[in-house]
A and B are shown apart, each in its own frame.
Chain A
Amino acid sequence: MNAQAYNFAYLDEQTKRMIRRAILKGLAIPGYQVPFASREMPMPYGWGTGGVQVTAACLVPEDKLKVIDQGADDTTNAVSIRKFFEKTAGVEVTEATGEASLIQTRHRIPEQDLSKDQILVYQVPIPEPLRFLEPRETETRKMHELEEYGLMHVKLYEDISRHGEISTSYAYPVKVEGRYIMDPSPIPKFDNPKLSDSSAIQLFGAGREQRIYALPPYTDVQSLDFEDYPFEVSKAPHDCDLCGAKDTYLDEVITDDAGSRMYVCSDTDFCSTRRQNGHVGRLGTPVSSEVA
């Protein structure tokens, strides 16, 4: 079967309309989980079927697509989704954050600030932040409806009582415009401040759970905390070993079995751009000599 057998961006037009309606509703009620009729996609659940459907509904032929997985452009998930849209939509793809008009992401927000011409699509495994505290969906919906969010703080309380600090380090719950509590998808809490007041449109798609939610540009997003245990971003206390950046989120890479390790930017595009511009970290080599 060739690419022409598919409609543009795989999904049929009626499905895309349905998803767009859910997206518009989500944008109108920031943080509210809109149910939608999620379709079977040619990839397994957990691989971003929600994000892929949102991306498919938003893509136009003029778009330039970037796909990242844990910040990297070259990991399995990112490569397969990027190829999927190259094949089924024929859109241009890029690895440069600044050039992309639509970015689908798993577990990270790019380091570079996004602009008002961009859409950021998140892949969400479990959209309900209250799920592990209250397993009944009927009850959690009621809690959202009536703004009964005391339970969310019970989770943070448990963190402090067990570990002495709020140890939740990813999927850190946020409150949107003082109303809905939202799961920001499993991004590290390092990225939480970037959710707020962003210039880009942020869309969240959960395929298995059949939910879409959204943050319109310049939405106020606050991370939950206690008065005596305020929200703090966290990252490894190192600089990037390749590009020397001090304020990026880092991956720890084990380099041998004798305990050596290096820390590198998880955002590969950000890191390589810095290296192109001549920044060198502790273990890095200048880009020109590496090529030679």
Chain B
Amino acid sequence: MTAAVAQIQTNSIEDAPLLKVQNLAKFYGSRVGCQNVSFDLFPGEVLGIVGESGSGKSTLLAALAGHHQPDRGTIHYRDQDILALQESERRRLSRTEWAFVHQNPRDGLRLGVSAGGNVGERLMSVGSRHYGNIRTQALDWLERVEISPDRIDDRPSSFSGGMQQRLQIARNLVTSPKLVFMDEPTGGLDVSVQARLLDLLRGLVRTLGLSVIIVTHDLAVVRLLADRLMVMKSGEVVEQGLTDQVLDDPQHGYTQLLVSSVLQV
């Protein structure tokens, strides 16, 4: 009896949303950044946010990740009210259980520090003080993102764009976060490198059971990665649902336009 109850409780915890967003809004003066955004993100789920430039998707992501304070609404992470957290707590979250992959790897990496140092920084910031262990983990992660181990002491400024982006991903995932925010992770990469990166990301997301919120304007990226899709226009969510459903049978006029605007090669 007790065991059964405990079982039900664990289930309910696993089924509970990891991130619960309600009525989120962010304004720039009188202009709307984004508004009326509500959604739940479940563990292991990948949520894609698509929309044209200026539709508020990056604003939404930045508000979720705590880069700026939203004007209205609530964000709950595992039943914790994120907006009510102390700054120190929020920053601790953002370097342990959360991760943020920038569009431009230069924003997410320290270019003056070696690849190993970049990966190790998050470990050291959560208190790791054993050089050997840090190095072993850095090597392990470089291998997982397909960077040759003999590049560990090279600076990322000597890396190609694709390698820098993979290094940024390794640096973010080394503390095994639960929730990863990605802002156009494949932007600025050529198509073949994009494909490799997407392949890598898909593998990591599946094996590590990550929850991901990925912002992009590239429908191919969400088709490949996302379980669920939110389409944004002028700061509001105009349509959301399962990725294949939204892309194959778009309901909103804007989504139809967006889907039909993709070049068929």
Give A residues with C-beta under 8 Å from B: 133, 146-151, 153-154, 157-158, 160-162, 226-229
Contacts and interface: CB of A to CB of B under 8 A. Distances in A.
Contacts of B130: 226-228
A157 B116 contact: yes
Interface string B108-147: 0010111011001111111101111011000000000000
B91 to A, nearest CB: 6
B116 A146 contact: no
B80 to A, nearest CB: 18
Contacts of B113: 133, 154, 158
Interface of B: 87-88, 91, 110, 112-114, 116-117, 120-127, 129-132, 134-135, 152-153
Contacts of B112: 133
Contacts of B152: 161
Nearest to A152: B124
Main secondary structure of the interface of B (DSSP, over half): helix
20 contacts: A133-B110, A133-B113, A146-B88, A148-B91, A153-B124, A154-B113, A154-B117, A154-B120, A154-B121, A154-B124, A157-B120, A158-B114, A161-B114, A161-B117, A161-B135, A161-B153, A226-B130, A227-B130, A227-B131, A228-B132
Which one of A153, A228, A229 has the greatest number of beta carbons of chain B within 10 Å? A153
- Across chains A and B, which 8 residue pairs bring their CB atoms closest together, nearest first? A150-B125, A150-B124, A153-B124, A226-B131, A146-B88, A227-B130, A154-B117, A154-B121
Contact of B153 (A151, A162, A227): A162
Contacts of A158: 113-114, 117
Contacts of B124: 150-151, 153-154, 157
B125 A148 contact: yes
Contacts of B121: 150-151, 154
Contacts of A147: 88
A150 B122 contact: yes
Given A157-B124, A161-B114, A161-B116, A146 B91 contact: yes
